Structure 1
Amino acid sequence: MPQNDRHKEREIPIEFDFYNTLESLPVDNRCTIIMISCGSTTVKINEHIQTVTAPAVLCISQYDNFQCLERTHLSAKVFHFDPWYIKACLNFENLDDSVPIDKQYVYDRNMLYMFTKHHGYFQGIFNLTPQQYIRLNELMLMIGAETYAQSDDYWTCRIRRMLRQALNCIYDIYVDQCKLNFYELSENSNPVTICTDYIHANYRNNISLNFLCELVHLNRTTLNQRFKQQLNCTCIEYLLHYRLKISQELLSNTNLKIDDIANQCGFKYGSYFNRQFTKYLGISPSEFRKNPTGYSVKESRGKP
């Protein structure tokens, strides 16, 4: 709902949430800045699935199809705003380049490209350096504090100024990455890299081959061929080996029960974990725990 101005009888087309769970997004007639401050989340934006780890910022709009698939210790601040809050002449009907507007407002419209021009592997997601995160997070905190405090008649002007500063920071990142052809050439567009990154972040959860195929828009045969070419194993073999690798670390460095380790590593049943561990290492988990330095997953099977 729009923010009610307690100093004047009017509604301001902005909303702020300090602890958003990324549900009910996007919002009609709004651009949305999502600041991921802690943890990670797997999101699906316009059929593209990606795991986002803090610190990061997402820029989406009413044009996007957005779904949060998973959350891990997620903390996110969210700010929604109508384009006309930036400039009164801007609205969703004239944000496209084909619609003529006064030249003096072109830069302001371009600054919203991060929200409106999603395509291919660019879906408005930006990983942040520590310096970028500190600056953007500071601005988001000040915007949120002023949204709730409305300290005087000029509170909306201060928020607008801070919002423009935040948008300028994000736009600079966007322009730099476009100059480097980041979204076309980045290793992040490699289907194998996308799958392995997802596995590393979500190995505890149920992961199917069908899901990974959907993640990178490839069929089973093609995805496994890519894995064989680059990692000398199939997609699911990589997942199994990564889980076994993590299980070895937990067996070596914790006192967790073996069934708990199996569960934490994504094995639904302790008996299946024992069977796979013994198959690939030639020794049971309990025996491995007694002497963890002398064993590793068989090289011939491929390993992450």
Structure 2
Amino acid sequence: MKLWTEGKLYHQGYQIGMTYEQASRGEDEPLELASVFRIFLIREGTGVLQIADRRYPIFAPGVCCFQGGEQVRFLAQAPLRMKRLNFMPSVLNARLEALLNGSGEGGTSDYQDLWVLESFTDRSDSYYGALPLDPAVVKRAEEMMEAIGWNLAEQPDTYWPCRSRSYLMELLFLIRQVYQETDLTPYPLPHAVSESIKPVVTYLHTHYQEKIRLEHLTELFLVNKTTLNEAFKKSTGYSVISYLNHIRMRMADAMLRNTTLPTTEIMELIGIQDDAHFIRNFRKHSGYSPAEYRNQYCWMLHQS
């Protein structure tokens, strides 16, 4: 995969460590250069994100921030519509790569530049690189990524490298702000599940927006109801339908805390049509109605 953009009419032969593309699904090829960072802006779709040997649900709309060397795959059984930006830290600051690998020293401004990359380098039990985004934030991030892509492709004047770099800095500051404010609640997919149950878990995480019946799953995975439910509960601690509801409530939880999407739209995104059903299940999940929960925990609401 090409990891830089080369000057054509202006700055012929000059290479800037950025590339941009639109994609209908994630690519799972490993990147050999440890210095390449990646931004995936996910507009639509559902799926599972695999990092090393762990799997996590994908947020849409949302952004994924990965540093070089991370082995990442998008396991999307449903189509994902996304934009992808690759960049090298040296685009921001020539000393950052040495600081990131521990082979150099920097000044105050260098560490300020490292700060803006924290959403890419931080990994903990509460953060694996994915952030849900509010529609207004998605729109702004998309505008900046498209502006970077246009400047890299068209190179309209002698300022195209600086203009691309400035849009990148603005995008990184926006992501860093979301990272700083977002209330992160990770929920990796069950790790120690049997091989026969893994495809079912993945299916539920990629099709939870759809109407799913146990009968459909038994036909799809060629197993009877009793066997499926018993094996599923042994691996996950939940019945199949309870686990599906758990996925939906956790997604609603994240959206209510981290976006200002209308509740009706959240219901549509998680595959629930009945208001009373949603309110009842969410209260059982959180102890609050959706409106009460948002008023209590939505950081964007409190910020505004």
What per-residue deviation string (whole Å, max 9, x for no partner) do you get for residues 198-228 of structure 1? 66248578679xxxxxxxxxx964732xx3x
Q: CA deviation at 1:127?
A: 0.5
* Residues 48, 75 of structure 2: 8 Å contact kept: yes
Q: Which amino acid is the alignment partner of residue 58 of structure 1?
A: C
Q: CA deviation at 1:109?
A: 0.6
| Residue 126 of structure 2 is aligned to residue 128 of structure 1 | no
SS of 2:39 mapped into structure 1: strand
Question: Separation in 1 of the partners of 2:143 and 2:78?
Answer: 23
Q: Which amino acid is the alignment partner of residue 5 of structure 2?
A: Q
Cα 1:199/1:4, change in 2 over 3 Å: closer
Q: Which amino acid is the alignment partner of residue 82 of structure 1?
A: M
Cα 1:207/1:85, change in 2 over 3 Å: farther
| Residue 21 of structure 2 is aligned to residue 17 of structure 1 | yes
Q: Where does residue 85 of structure 1 map in the other structure?
A: 91
Number of paired residues? Answer: 215
* Residues 48, 121 of structure 1: 8 Å contact kept: no
Question: Separation in 2 of the partners of 1:74 and 1:61?
Answer: 21
Q: CA deviation at 1:120?
A: 2.4
| Residue 225 of structure 2 is aligned to residue 223 of structure 1 | no
Higher relative contact order, structure no. (Cα contacts within 8 Å, ≥ 6 residues apart): 2
Q: Which amino acid is the alignment partner of residue 54 of structure 1?
A: A
Question: Separation in 1 of the partners of 2:241 and 2:127?
Answer: 29
Q: Where does residue 262 of structure 1 map in the other structure?
A: none
Q: Where does residue 187 of structure 2 map in the other structure?
A: 189
Q: Where does residue 60 of structure 1 map in the other structure?
A: 66
Q: CA deviation at 1:169?
A: 0.5
TM alignment of 1:240-251, pairs within 5 A? none
Q: Where does residue 301 of structure 1 map in the other structure?
A: none
Q: CA deviation at 1:100?
A: 3.6
Q: Where does residue 114 of structure 2 map in the other structure?
A: 109
SS of 2:76 mapped into structure 1: strand
Q: Where does residue 281 of structure 1 map in the other structure?
A: none
TM-score normalised per structure 2: 0.61
SS of 1:87 mapped into structure 2: coil
SS of 2:45 mapped into structure 1: strand
Runs of 4+, deviation exceeding 4 Å: 96-99, 195-199, 201-208, 219-222, 239-242
| Residue 43 of structure 2 is aligned to residue 45 of structure 1 | no
* Residues 26, 61 of structure 1: 8 Å contact kept: no
Q: Which amino acid is the alignment partner of residue 208 of structure 2?
A: H
Cα 1:154/1:23, change in 2 over 3 Å: same
Larger radius of gyration: 1
SS of 1:23 mapped into structure 2: coil
Q: Comparing 97-106 with 60-69, which one deviates more in the overlay?
A: 97-106
Cα 1:237/1:55, change in 2 over 3 Å: closer
| Residue 154 of structure 2 is aligned to residue 139 of structure 1 | no
* Residues 20, 78 of structure 1: 8 Å contact kept: no
Q: CA deviation at 1:34?
A: 0.4
Q: Where does residue 75 of structure 2 map in the other structure?
A: 69
Unaligned runs of 5+ in 1: 209-218, 228-233, 243-303
SS of 1:72 mapped into structure 2: coil
Q: Which amino acid is the alignment partner of residue 21 of structure 1?
A: R
